[in-house]
Structure 1
């Protein structure tokens, strides 16, 4: 488990994934850092920083050189080279670092690299599903200029939500949204009506599943289950779980911890309404707001 009140150092997700993959490949071959450093004429400290994801200046040709030495197949080498390219690319949200709440920058990296997302939200409509008016009406934090953060929130929501609607490989995402998040009026009933209809419409997409966890379900996942996101990655990269609160975030990376969240998620999923019933409920809620 990794607890953060800020992002995890200056380590970006692609560097961490690349470093873990190189370390696993080295250990699978039975090599020590000293052995590899001596043969490839790389300093042990540089190789160690690379495996920890702490090397900010990564050369793609060096990654290929190391991978060839480990005897990795071509497909795996190309994937690790792509991670090296990503590690050198500045993410689009980097210019807005000061507007991102503590820890969320790390989540944005995780989200960008993911192949599938599984949400459980009890407090607020998940950001990827928020309408611009809803996002604009979410109360800004006390430490930031309201208008500045509001503009950023809306822009961020629009850019992020494109991963669900893009034509090429749209993100697969499952959303379990508790009824309490739906019943909390943000902005106005007009805004909520539009938000309900947007949720119902998004739920018809093949890559998106939206289901409501009703009040009548009780606490299927346990009394103290916070909102969370289970994040799956390509190429058998280990999944992680992201949770957040008002002043910080937690990222669970250990396999046992992630599996515990999957058990919780299965319980919550079993108590949620089916997709069609969820869409019917959302559209009924929208109509009531319009009366």
Structure 2
């Protein structure tokens, strides 16, 4: 085990978020749950807000029993508690977090206040159902139609954080021009997807800019897709959670970078990409132009 400064915060965040949401779902106040678990109110609050590195397994098991968590979910939660004390300069997660309830990125994404995203295909938050189905079907080739439908439905539900009327997440998408020309599904699906991007980019919380082929190689890196997540500040002007950088594993474990130096380095990369993107109006024009070419 490691010191609190060395341990990754990500499993603690996911653990705390799950316990808080489960407690609230049971209609228990922080004080009520703490008394039932024989914890102090401040102690439970520290667990829920990821301020405790050395999580005690017996306390987590007791909370799961109080909240009526199933045996399978309890097993996952306890593994998460164990992972919360593992030292790593980066954090890679695999199948343990692929379940819809415990998906690490989905939980972080839903908690973020701002997302800065660079992609070479349309990201999940802005995909149409047909585009999502084409992608998911290609990746999960041996899955049943019912499983594909379930995955598409879950992906579309995630989009509510962008389109909800109350306090939507701010999304800045830097989309490489290749995404407009890489045909997924069919020309009809591509035309509808690009028209959708042009329309949704009009939302006040969405900024979409095309990164053209002519922009070259930013900072000398072939960096690939990435997402920078910012969780905003509270009423005291303090960070709710530290920002981080996410890289989708694409069949391998997902990668998260948490250190301030790493976040700063990729923020600088995003700034470099942004500086060579076309503006939002021109980006919408390019999307509509490409959509018309597919419909021809």
Q: After TM superposition, is the score higher than 0.5? A: yes
The question of 1:167 aligning with 2:171 is answered: no
Q: Whole-Å Cα distance in 2 between the matches of residues 50 and 176 of structure 1? A: 33
| Structure 2 SS opposite 1:273 | coil
In the alignment, is residue 276 of structure 1 matched against residue 277 of structure 2?
no
Write the distance in 2 (CA, Å) between the matches of 1:275 and 1:116. Answer: 18
Matches for 1:103-142 after TM superposition, within 5 Å: 105-122=103-120, 124-138=121-135, 139-142=137-140
| Deviation at residue 128 of structure 1 after TM alignment | 0.2
Aligned residues of 1:12 and 1:106 also touching (Cα < 8 A): no
SS of the equivalent of 2:162 reads helix
Change in Cα spacing, 1:202 to 1:53, as seen in structure 2 (3 Å) is farther
Give TM-score, length-normalised by structure 1.
Answer: 0.67
TM-score by length of 2: 0.66
Contact 1:16 1:51 in 2 (8 A): no
Superposed displacement of residue 16, structure 1:
7.7
Query: CA 1:223–1:142 in 2, change beyond 3 Å: closer, same or farther?
Result: same
| Structure 2 equivalent of residue 262 of structure 1 | 267
Please report how far the alpha carbon of residue 9 of structure 1 lies from its aligned counterpart in structure 2 after TM superposition.
9.2
Partner of 1:219: 217
8 A contact 2:113–2:230 mirrored in 1: yes
Provide the rounded CA distance (Å) in 1 between the counterparts of 2:114 and 2:62: 27
1:195 aligns to what? Answer: 193
Once the two structures are overlaid, the 10-residue window that deviates more, 265-274 or 228-237, is 228-237
CA distance in 2 between partners of 1:239 and 1:175 (Å): 17
Q: Tell me if structure 2 keeps the 8 A contact 1:11–1:53.
A: no
* CA 50–207 in structure 1, closer or farther in 2 if over 3 Å, else same: closer
CA distance in 1, matches of 2:259, 2:10: 19
- How far is 1:226 from its partner? 2.1
Task: After superposition, give the CA deviation of every residue in 1:4-34 in whole Å (9 maximum; x if it has no partner).
Answer: xxxx99655262899xxxxxxxxxxxxxxxx
Contiguous gaps of at least 5 residues in structure 1: 1-7, 19-38, 60-96
Whether 2:245 is the aligned partner of 1:241: answer: yes
Distance 1:155 1:223, change over 3 A: same
1:215: how far off? 0.7
CA RMSD of aligned residues (A): 3.7
Identify if the C-alpha distance between structure 1 residues 167 and 209 changes in structure 2 by more than 3 Å, giving closer, same or farther. Answer: same
* Offset of residue 105 of structure 1: 1.2
CA distances 1:123-147 after superposition (whole Å, capped 9, x unpaired): x210000000000111343575142
Give 5+ residue unaligned stretches, structure 2. 1-8, 20-39, 64-94, 234-238
- The alpha-carbon distance between structure 1 residues 50 and 238, as it changes in their structure 2 partners (threshold 3 A), is closer
- Higher normalized contact order (CA 8 Å, seq sep 6+, divided by chain length): 1
